[in-house]
Amino acid sequence: AYLQQIEKCEAQLGAYIKVTREVALAQAAQVDARRAAGEQLHPLAGVPMALKDNLCTQGIETTCGSKMLQNFCPPYSATAARRLEEAGCVLLGKVNMDEFAMGSSTENSYYHPTRNPVDPTRVPGGSSGGSAAAVGAREAAFALGSDTGGSIRQPAAFCGVVGMKPTYGAVSRYGLVAFASSLDQIGPLTRDVRDSALVLSAIAGKDERDSTCVGRNYGDFQQDIGREVTGLRLGLPREFLEEGIDPQVKAAVLAAANRYEKLGARVEPVSLPTLKHALPAYYVISSAEASSNLARFDGVRYGYRAKDYADMDELYERTRSEGFGPEVKRRIMLGTFALSAGYYDAYYNKALQVRTLVVREFEALFKDFDALLSPVAPTTAYRLGEKMADPMAMYLGDIYTVPVNIAGLPALSLPCGRDEEGLPIGMQLIGPPFSEKKLYQLGYAFE
């Protein structure tokens, strides 16, 4: 049924870079056989999924939305992908994304843009736009995405689905093509909160292959789903509802706050004064890390290699000039500049100081609050092409999502209404480290 839906929708949506039809049918047949043999199966066994194309899949192309990795077939699978495969999930294919996860609209993909299933004249958000569109259009039961500065939560908001960005270190990054290693996290995009908890339970937990992955026994993330939220304290950071926000998005988030009060939670306005500094700090830190991480794409070890070159320097230069798209080049230049002698203290070190301030501000708030409620993006989904000529306008749309990555916190993005044109509006619940279960409890109560 999912393969049929893909056939029906793909010409218009373009959520997938590659549909792995044969793999899917073989895996599904295997699950059927195991079930017929009376085997006790994982709750996710047989569930068809899509993976963002920056998650390595053994023997299956992993392009990262880039020409640079066009024919790259990883010799191993990402831990998150492998755990789902072991649970019996069925891989429908690899889904579209902004090149190297840099972007907010999926228009930076080398392959093709993806369209929003709610309104195909609009972007699905990004960089996990393929993941969100596939789930929104029922072209997959769930998908994995990655979130460095909002790339799970913002496309979830634009497509009207649920997106979870877990605590930094909750999910192994092994096999996730690195963008900014201190910010990247893998997480699920699903149709509802319970599905999200189910998928996160399958992928979270210690992995010897990622030293930043925290050894913790999470148990079942569904554990607190269905429990009342009476007495829980929610903070509403006022800086998230000030300048530049679409009045309809603001109204929907305030209405959500009201609903939480009716459900018995206590909602109070709070302040996060460093919010305005988080965005510039994010673009310095993420670009600095990206410039270092992407140094490995030199035409020698992975994927694309330029045809004509006279010597080693020219091999590097041509390969990188031809293999990377404009946004990736912009980030590499920005990051290299911020890390260079003479500018390091002024930009990179300053950004790290801001990072510490953001962390402390959140910590102080979480002494008094269980979670914070905020919009995910200042607007609903915009039209394709609308922001492509203006990278700054595109970056500004990340204002509400990046502070969460800067501080390594978990945040759940879920639908909270629609604007006059019927486009989905998203809100996010932000919690202290490892509070995913409470976020699911709060999210489920609202749903």
20 binds ligand GLN (CB under 6 A): no
Nearer to ligand GLN, 147 or 436 (CB): 147
Q: Pattern of binders to ligand GLN over 271-290, x per CB under 6 A?
A: ---------------x----
Nearer to ligand GLN, 66 or 148 (CB): 148
Q: Pattern of binders to ligand GLN over 158-187, x per CB under 6 A?
A: ---------------------x--------
* Candidates 127, 128, 286, 435; catalytic one: 127
**DSSP string computed for 147-206:** ESSSTTHHHHHHHT-EEEEPPTTSB--TTBPPS-TTT-EEEEEESSHHHHHHHHHHHBS-
DSSP 54: T
- CB-based contact 230:263 (threshold 8 Å): yes
Q: Considering only residues 101, 204, 328, 371, which one is a binding residue for ligand GLN as defined by CB under 6 A?
A: 101
Q: Pattern of binders to ligand GLN over 59-98, x per CB under 6 A?
A: ----------------------------------------
Nearer to ligand GLN, 150 or 424 (CB): 150
SS3 425: strand
* Candidates 77, 104, 131, 151; catalytic one: 151
* Candidates 18, 52, 165, 438; catalytic one: 52
Residues 6+ apart with CB under 8 A from 349: none
Q: How far is the CB of 154 from ligand GLN (least distance, A)?
A: 7
Nearer to ligand GLN, 104 or 274 (CB): 104
Q: Considering only residues 53, 99, 139, 147, which one is a binding residue for ligand GLN as defined by CB under 6 A?
A: 147
- Measure the CA–CA gap between 416 and 433, rounded to whole angstroms: 24
The backbone torsions φ and ψ at residue 397, rounded to the nearest 5 degrees and listed phi first, read -65, -10
Q: Considering only residues 27, 62, 131, 148, which one is a binding residue for ligand GLN as defined by CB under 6 A?
A: 148
157 binds ligand GLN (CB under 6 A): no
User: In sequence order, what are the beta bridge partners of 415?
Assistant: 426
Q: Is 52 a catalytic residue?
A: yes
Closest CA to 144 of 83, 100, 208: 83
- Prior bond to 127 cis, omega within 30? yes
Q: Pattern of binders to ligand GLN over 124-143, x per CB under 6 A?
A: ---x----------------
Nearer to ligand GLN, 210 or 398 (CB): 398
- Measure the CA–CA gap between 111 and 63, rounded to whole angstroms: 10
The backbone torsions φ and ψ at residue 430, rounded to the nearest 5 degrees and listed phi first, read -110, 130
44 binds ligand GLN (CB under 6 A): no
275-293 vs 350-368: helix axis angle to the nearest 10?
A: 130
Nearer to ligand GLN, 149 or 237 (CB): 149
Q: Is 128 a catalytic residue?
A: no
Q: Is 77 a catalytic residue?
A: no
The edge-to-edge listing of strands for the beta sheet with 142-147 is 16-19, 90-95, 48-52, 142-147, 185-190, 162-165, 411-418, 424-430, 371-375, 233-237, 266-270
Nearer to ligand GLN, 107 or 224 (CB): 107
* Residue in this structure with the two tokens 């039961």, named with its chain if needed: 141
109 binds ligand GLN (CB under 6 A): no
241 binds ligand GLN (CB under 6 A): no
275-293 vs 326-339: helix axis angle to the nearest 10?
A: 100
- CB-based contact 430:374 (threshold 8 Å): yes
- CB-based contact 376:150 (threshold 8 Å): yes
Q: Considering only residues 53, 210, 398, 436, which one is a binding residue for ligand GLN as defined by CB under 6 A?
A: 398
Q: How far is the CB of 195 from ligand GLN (least distance, A)?
A: 21
Residues forming the site for ligand GLN (CB under 6 A):
101-104, 127, 147-151, 179, 286, 398
Instruction: Give the catalytic positions in this structure.
Output: 52, 127, 151
